[in-house]
Structure 1
Amino acid sequence: MDRVSYLKKLRGKLRRLPAHELDAALAYYEEYFEEAGEENEQKVIVELGSPSQVASQILADFALKDLEASSEKSAKKNMTAIWLIILAILSAPLSLPLLAAAIALIFSFGAVIISFIFAIGAGIISIFFGGIAALISGFFILTEDWPTALLFMGVGFIVTGLGVLLFPVVARFIKKIVLISVETLGRLFHKIMRKQKGGF
């Protein structure tokens, strides 16, 4: 493989990056080859590793850097970062057992996080609707037994208010969990890559 085919393959592996990031990455490696000189082309290729290795490192680094630099850590940005790290792991030239372990870890980690988020969301929704149900029940028995109706309505207002108050807190908590998950996934990727390099 020569410099041109190496950079062409690298471009193909990095096609999911934003255009300016892709151009910056390729410019950096083109300059790296130029500084080494034509006679050291093969030495540079060996030193850098395969285009897959370089691309997977760039993708994971970009995902984490973009997430940390962003002041608005939206759910969309978190999901994009997770997707880029998953792509980085899948495009890395890992041995089959290590790749299988990485995929299993990603999916089990994702399943745990998603289950946790759904459980929290379901808890808040059930608190809110439980309060509304108690309020409605209070209105229905108001003419029959007004002290019990007032109790139901009071409990309904308290529980519904609690659900409304907890919603923004839980939303921030979920965003924080997703952010920590993305960073953990990034660290996991770097650990896998170090282990892979150490294995050679």
Structure 2
Amino acid sequence: MTSETAKYMQMLRRYLRKLPDDEIDDIVEFYSEYLADAGIDTKAEIEQELGTPRQLALKILADHSIKEEAEDQRVVSKTKIKTTWLIILTLLATPATLIIGLILLSVLIAIFAVVFSGVVVVISLAGGGIFLTAAAIFTGLSLLFTNLGTGLFYLGIGLLGLGLLLIVIPLVWGCSVWIVKACTRLVQHVYYRYIKKEAAK
């Protein structure tokens, strides 16, 4: 291993420090052998072939996150968001895909702003709905033995509100999860379309 290759691999290790040590060792060994077999040993040649250590690390981390997500279909939204963020960083770190990364980031920020606003509105309405539902049920129960008709009316309204809450809350949660998954698929599609395609060349 030449001194330039050793420096490159040292920087790569630093950027990959979040991965398990054995995986980092395998990655460094693979790319070291790749460069040696190709006869690439200067800094300019290495970065022309693999990109900077940071660019290569972001690609590796993005691939690792996508693979991890694919292996566990029950993966939580937090992991999907992490995958999406890593891919966007990879796009932004590569000059050829910088504009695409900026556009994609702008679109995702706009989507997030709309979803966040919607969730805030739904939470506010749900909070009011819970209060009114509880008040209606309490009023209905308190009037049930003194004024049967009025008590049943309020109790019916309260139970109806409770039923609506049990429908709306899971529906909003499901829509939020679906939007996160859709955004992740969009970002992964762009990643495979541009980053992986360039790597294949």
Instruction: Give structure 2 stretches of 5+ with no counterpart.
Output: none
2:153 maps to 151
Contact 1:14 1:55 in 2 (8 A): yes
1:50 maps to 52
Q: Which amino acid aligns with 2:139?
A: S
Counterparts in 2 of 1:118 and 1:14: CA distance versus 1, 3 Å: farther
Q: How far 1:190 moved relative to its partner?
A: 5.1
1:33 maps to 35
Q: What is the TM-score when the length of structure 2 is the normalising length? A: 0.70
The alignment yields a C-alpha RMSD, in angstroms, of 3.7
Q: How far 1:7 moved relative to its partner?
A: 1.9
* Equivalent of 1:78 in 80, 84, 107: 80
Q: What is the TM-score when the length of structure 1 is the normalising length? A: 0.70
Q: Which amino acid aligns with 2:188?
A: G
Alpha-carbon distance in 2 for matches of 1:97, 1:71: 31
Alpha-carbon distance in 2 for matches of 1:153, 1:9: 67
Alpha-carbon distance in 2 for matches of 1:119, 1:23: 49
* Equivalent of 2:165 in 151, 163, 166: 163
1:12 maps to 14
- For residues 80-109 of structure 1, the C-alpha deviation after alignment (integer angstroms, 9 at most, x for no partner) is 334433443454456876665454344333
- For residues 24-51 of structure 1, the C-alpha deviation after alignment (integer angstroms, 9 at most, x for no partner) is 4323212211322356886454222333
Matches for 1:45-124 after TM superposition, within 5 Å = 45-93=47-95, 101=103, 103-124=105-126
Contact 1:67 1:73 in 2 (8 A): yes
Contact 1:135 1:152 in 2 (8 A): yes
Q: How far 1:156 moved relative to its partner?
A: 0.6
Alpha-carbon distance in 2 for matches of 1:58, 1:189: 12
* Equivalent of 1:137 in 136, 139, 144: 139
Instruction: Give structure 1 stretches of 5+ with no counterpart.
Output: none
Alpha-carbon distance in 2 for matches of 1:64, 1:124: 35
